């Protein structure tokens, strides 16, 4: 490798001129705007993490029969999607396996836990959608199509028409319904402080349940957030 040029980005000083160039009246106003946007981003991340945790808690408490054939098929699908993404970066199947130092079969085996979790999530969401009768309205479809319409400079109705013509409108309906289902699950979940959750995980784990049940000669019971008493 031959280094032909090295550049260093020179940042402007954080002063009133910078604030004015950015469209603010003062540096303090600029700082407050940045702080507000950072807080909003962090709040959105926390909300997304909470929704995901609520969904996974529902998945953990469900009984979803998943065959090994389904898991292997989903792992293969995930692998093919990954390869498709890599191909746009100029990385072939053979190059990637050489880079990671694993065979394709080893990669597929590593993907199986994620594939099984994805299938279980989908099954739970499908059940919630059916039980709650969730069906996105035309207005919701138009709202979902608005960002794409703005990027392409067309009306949202045109985006929906193209999706319908391409046979993809049902996929959008299913995705919106799944989002609504996740929101319902998250709304029903009761958050607890991190310190409290950590303490309860240390006191009451599935492994300890089995040990205690065996020692007592009876069945153990998992603690859940709805329990108000002691885990013991």
Determine how many CB atoms are found less than 10 A away from the CB of residue 51.
17
Domain count across the chain: 3
Do 101 and 87 fall into the same domain?
Answer: yes
Q: How far apart are CA 163 and CA 28, in angstroms?
A: 46
Is 232 exposed, middle or buried (CB count within 10 Å of its CB: 0-12, 13-18, 19+)? exposed
Which of 55, 68, 75 minimizes the C-alpha distance to 127?
55
**Positions of the chain with pLDDT under 50:** 206, 209-232
Residue 61: the pLDDT is: 87
Q: How far apart are CA 135 and CA 176, in angstroms?
A: 8
Q: Judge whether 209 lies within some domain.
A: no
Tokens of 194: 């991190």
Q: Judge whether 215 lies within some domain.
A: no
Is 115 exposed, middle or buried (CB count within 10 Å of its CB: 0-12, 13-18, 19+)? buried
Residue 230: the pLDDT is: 40
Is 71 exposed, middle or buried (CB count within 10 Å of its CB: 0-12, 13-18, 19+)? buried
- Sign of the four-CA dihedral 137, 150, 166, 116: negative
Do 67 and 129 fall into the same domain?
Answer: yes
Is 184 exposed, middle or buried (CB count within 10 Å of its CB: 0-12, 13-18, 19+)? middle
Q: Judge whether 157 lies within some domain.
A: yes
- Torsion angle of alpha carbons 65, 68, 69, 71, nearest 10°? 80
Q: Judge whether 219 lies within some domain.
A: no
Q: Judge whether 150 lies within some domain.
A: yes
Is 173 exposed, middle or buried (CB count within 10 Å of its CB: 0-12, 13-18, 19+)? middle
Do 111 and 154 fall into the same domain?
Answer: no
Do 86 and 122 fall into the same domain?
Answer: yes
Cut 0.85: pTM above it? no
Q: How far apart are CA 134 and CA 230, in angstroms?
A: 37
> What residues make up the domain containing 67?
63-133
Do 47 and 79 fall into the same domain?
Answer: no
Q: Judge whether 79 lies within some domain.
A: yes
Q: Judge whether 214 lies within some domain.
A: no
């Amino acid at each position: 490798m031959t280094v032909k040029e090295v550049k260093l980005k020179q940042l402007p000083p954080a002063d009133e001129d910078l604030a004015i160039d950015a469209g603010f009246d003062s540096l303090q106003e600029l700082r407050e705007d940045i702080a507000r946007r950072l807080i909003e981003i962090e709040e959105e991340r926390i909300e997304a993490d909470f929704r995901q945790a609520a969904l996974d808690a529902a998945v953990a408490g469900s009984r979803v029969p998943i065959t090994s054939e389904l898991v292997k098929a989903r792992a293969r699908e995930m692998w093919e999607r990954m390869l498709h993404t890599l191909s746009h970066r100029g990385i072939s199947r053979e190059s990637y396996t050489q880079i990671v130092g694993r065979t394709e079969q080893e990669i597929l085996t590593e993907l199986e836990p994620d594939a099984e979790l994805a299938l279980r999530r989908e099954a739970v969401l499908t059940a919630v959608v059916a039980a709650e009768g969730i069906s996105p309205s035309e207005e919701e479809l138009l709202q979902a199509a608005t960002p794409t319409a703005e990027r392409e400079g067309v009306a949202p109705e045109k985006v929906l028409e193209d999706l319908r013509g391409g046979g993809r409108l049902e996929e959008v309906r299913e995705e919106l319904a799944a989002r609504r289902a996740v929101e319902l699950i998250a709304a029903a979940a009761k958050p607890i402080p991190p310190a409290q959750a950590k303490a309860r995980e240390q006191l009451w784990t599935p492994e300890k349940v089995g040990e205690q049940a065996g020692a007592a000669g009876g069945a153990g019971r998992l603690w859940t957030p709805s329990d108000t008493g002691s885990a013991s």
